[in-house]
Structure 1
Amino acid sequence: MGRWRAASLLLRDIAITTTPPKSSSLLFKPLTLSRSSSSSSIPTSQFYFFLKSRPLSAIPSRVSIDPNDFESGPAYCAHEQPNEDDETGKIPIKAYFLCTSINLKSMQAEYLSNVIPPSSRSTNYIALRFCDFPSENSRFGVWENPSSWRYMVVFQYGSTVLFNVEEHEVQAYLNLVIRHASGMLREMVKDDYAVKEKPQLVDDMQGGPDYIVLRTLDTDSIRIIGSVLGQSIALDYFVSQVDGMVEEFADINRGMEKTGTFTMHKKKLLQLVGKANSTLADVIVKVGLFERSEIAWRDAKYAKIHEYLREEYEVTQRFGNLDFKLKFVEHNIHFLQEVLQNRKSDLLEWCIIFLLTVENIISLYEIVRDSGAVSG
């Protein structure tokens, strides 16, 4: 047994000295993944992997040298292991109202490879997916999960909702939309939200402070969340427009209180009439504030998300406030129109009086002239 043991030790020593020293380079190997963003410079993320191996010992006889341990062993992440029991981090959502109209057809034609096939007959928005990963919010091992991708939902009336996009990447994605936009605003309207995935959630969804928890985040969930946030941010813009009209009429009323008159021209008043009417039409028709989502109609899970978010953002109540302010504007418009009409009537009356006066003077002159000619 002593001779066999000595021979075994000798063979192992020979195997160790003759085996190429490649294990040191494979135990800790960097795998570089570069981002594919074309508009912004994003730092390259590196994930370090090492291969499965047995612990090394100072005694050569106790080391099992097997090249297959290094050639075919499965790799795993050295920094973080995905844990099915842990919920994923918050996925940021950023909603923007950029303009009053976006050409969806031209945008869809340009980014056709990124367009997600529609799941409903709605034509006022498109959803796009960008494989611009890894993201700081995504965990390793979830490449097929929507939270590992960038998503963008673009609406014809001017809203854009970004999912899983970092703050320094926002402008690059918005530039894709601006190229197809018209009626750009001087200042964008912005809102932030978040969604969190929790696979072990009992219900399909659960509300939280400034975020919503979903059992799974799929593309239809992204469409539902994007539609409500897009409507909400558009409603913020239209409310601000109506607030400006209300403030303008408030100034006119305060001036009338002091002077008893006002100096608004009829053209300006007609512009306000058109602005008020177009605002109400845009909210109801273009934004589709009261249109039922077809996705929510088909599945109760999405209907629950849709109703929760509408209540969370108080969409119905805010539209009620908007409608009340528009009625106030409409009342003031009618009042000022009557005043302008009365002014016009007064001017016509004075013109008639002037003409009658001139006619009477001419008649008196003719009478005096004729009487002088008779007496002569």
Structure 2
Amino acid sequence: MLRVETFLVAEQINVKKFRAEFTGTPHSASAFEAFYAQENNRFLYVLNYGVVGFVGYSDVEKSDFIKFLKNYTEKPVDGDYKEDLLVDYNPNARLTFSYNSVSVPEWNENVVKIIILNIAQSVAMDFYEKMGSEVLDSTRKFTDELEKYGKIRISKTNLMKYIGRTLNVKNNIFDNLYVFNSPDSVWENEFLSKLDHGLRDTFDINMRFRELDYELKIVQDNLALFTDQLQHRESNRLEWIIILLILFEVIDLLISKVI
């Protein structure tokens, strides 16, 4: 049994800078990832959406590497986001999945990469789901005010700050989720395709993505409503200003005629 572990350490990792300064030649790499296959069945996978995956590393080695990796991160995350999976390699076994393990008849760099990638997406999804839930909960506070008072009791400046902050969170989620696609090797190899689909089902990647996307659409609709409310409030204010100006002109005209 081999244990594959992934850790979310930040919202972003500068993979390009990491590759330039890390001593080691990646087995495969791009602007978004760096995958290293080392001796003694040890593997390392760094992904730009803040996740690092390990196979064959001791606890001390993992801890030391994560400390080193933080030199290349942006927006470190709070909380303990990690996930693991046991892998049983047996050439005579069939490809089978359970909630915390997988049995594989093949073991090579591509197999390891697919396994780590799916676990990495799952642990990143944990973080994005938490962000999405927090944003959705915060919008409910304002929709509750609309239901109770017929208006949002917040100043224009604070409402604009909230909308800006919420949009930044929403955009950050989408900026990272777009890379949650299967690699090209999956479409070129039947076994890798079965492995990838089985792991995505095990970790409910597609279903969780759809649920998060649905939540973010609700948030987007709420933000549109809040913006309309803000514009309506500003329109009413301008209307009252115009009415008062006209009233002052009428009063001034009447006074001038009386005098």
Shared fold per TM-score greater than 0.5: yes
Q: 2:161 matched to 1:271? A: no
Q: Note the 1:85-124 alignment, pairs <5 A.
A: 90-113=1-24, 115-118=25-28, 122-124=30-32
* Distance (whole Å) between structure 2 residues aligned to residue 166 and residue 98 of structure 1: 18
Structure 2's unaligned 5+ residue stretches are none
Following superposition, the deviation at residue 155 of structure 1 comes to: 0.4
What SS is found at the alignment partner of 1:94? strand
Identify which range, 223-232 or 271-280, moves more after superposition.
271-280
User: What is aligned with 1:283?
Assistant: 177
Q: Is the 8 A contact 1:153 1:160 kept in 2?
A: yes
What SS is found at the alignment partner of 1:231? helix
Following superposition, the deviation at residue 160 of structure 1 comes to: 0.9
CA spacing shift, 1:283–1:248, aligned 2, 3 Å:
same
User: What is aligned with 1:330?
Assistant: 220
What SS is found at the alignment partner of 2:78? strand
* Distance (whole Å) between structure 1 residues aligned to residue 169 and residue 148 of structure 2: 27
What SS is found at the alignment partner of 1:153? strand
Following superposition, the deviation at residue 364 of structure 1 comes to: 1.2
User: Higher relative contact order at CA 8 Å, sep ≥6: structure 1 or structure 2?
Assistant: 2
Paired letter, 1:217: W
Q: 2:54 matched to 1:162? A: yes
User: What is aligned with 2:69?
Assistant: 177
- Residue-by-residue CA offset, 1:127-183 (whole Å, 9 max, x unaligned): 12455xxxxxxxxxxx5xx2xx3x210001211111123444431121232121122
* Distance (whole Å) between structure 2 residues aligned to residue 353 and residue 320 of structure 1: 49
Following superposition, the deviation at residue 253 of structure 1 comes to: 2.2
What SS is found at the alignment partner of 1:187? coil
Paired letter, 1:176: F
What SS is found at the alignment partner of 2:201? helix
**Matched residue pairs, number?**
255
Q: Note the 1:179-194 alignment, pairs <5 A.
A: 179-194=71-86
* Distance (whole Å) between structure 2 residues aligned to residue 305 and residue 320 of structure 1: 21
* Distance (whole Å) between structure 2 residues aligned to residue 167 and residue 263 of structure 1: 51
Q: Is the 8 A contact 2:44 2:55 kept in 1?
A: yes
* Distance (whole Å) between structure 2 residues aligned to residue 268 and residue 243 of structure 1: 15
Structure 1's unaligned 5+ residue stretches are 1-89, 132-142, 370-376
* Distance (whole Å) between structure 2 residues aligned to residue 167 and residue 112 of structure 1: 20
- Of Structure 1 and Structure 2, the greater helix share is in 2
Q: Is the 8 A contact 2:27 2:37 kept in 1?
A: no
Identify which range, 102-111 or 349-358, moves more after superposition.
102-111
Following superposition, the deviation at residue 340 of structure 1 comes to: 1.0
Q: Is the 8 A contact 1:94 1:193 kept in 2?
A: yes
Q: Under a length normalisation based on structure 1, what TM-score does the superposition of the two structures give?
A: 0.63
Paired letter, 2:234: K
Q: Is the 8 A contact 1:224 1:295 kept in 2?
A: no
User: What is aligned with 1:11?
Assistant: none
Which of 190, 213, 238 aligns to 1:348? It is 238
* Distance (whole Å) between structure 2 residues aligned to residue 187 and residue 252 of structure 1: 27
Which of 83, 98, 102 aligns to 1:212? It is 102
Q: Is the 8 A contact 1:101 1:182 kept in 2?
A: yes
* Distance (whole Å) between structure 2 residues aligned to residue 271 and residue 357 of structure 1: 40
Paired letter, 2:26: I
What SS is found at the alignment partner of 2:215? helix
- Residue-by-residue CA offset, 1:163-213 (whole Å, 9 max, x unaligned): 123444431121232121122112242112121111322x3x222341111
Q: 2:229 matched to 1:229? A: no
State percent identity of aligned pairs.
20
Which of 16, 19, 36 aligns to 1:128? It is 36
Cα RMSD over matched residues?
2.0
Q: Under a length normalisation based on structure 2, what TM-score does the superposition of the two structures give?
A: 0.90
Q: Note the 1:13-32 alignment, pairs <5 A.
A: none
* Distance (whole Å) between structure 1 residues aligned to residue 69 and residue 163 of structure 2: 34
- Residue-by-residue CA offset, 1:59-97 (whole Å, 9 max, x unaligned): xxxxxxxxxxxxxxxxxxxxxxxxxxxxxxx21122111
